[in-house]
Structure 1
């Protein structure tokens, strides 16, 4: 499901989407193929509509370490004048991502609570 889309003056477009799977019988499963999941992603599209990059966030990495950007509620994306992508979410977290979606430049997370 796509939640938010923004375009740059140069014609690049960033779409914020989410994907979830919930299966009641998967609760407590240790098999990754059976587990429930929820991811959020930002996809960058070139002016011609071709996808050029995608960044996933909101769930632990395959090695088990935490995502640099925690999943949040009411997530929004914006592109700053220098091309940096800003992601904000409730309860007040903000993250800056490089325009090519390859790295988190800065992060100000606020814990749920």
Structure 2
């Protein structure tokens, strides 16, 4: 958390990530091989209740509304189909070539990988 001295979680919003990716793309113009873009996924919750899955995090991000938290690129929540769609949209929007998933969520992410592969 650059610049944070409070110890509070300060994830980058979707809009802030748009700005950062745009800056990277501008700075990478003319590079023979641009770097791969990735994101560290902080939570994967396959659920029918997206809001319920994210709501416990809200005290840690008091500057965000529930709607903003649901759009955080670092959270994958919803049904399997919703998460697969979210991953695809993020790949198109930001150009992520790979995702890193925290160990506690690897098992929950396995069906997402299978669905993305068409299995």
Asked whether the two chains share a fold, i.e. TM above 0.5, the reply is no
Of structures 1 and 2, the one scoring higher in RCO (CA 8 A, sep 6+) is 2
Which one has the bigger helix percentage?
2
- Report the TM-score, using the length of structure 1 for normalisation: 0.28
Higher strand proportion (structure 1 or 2): 1
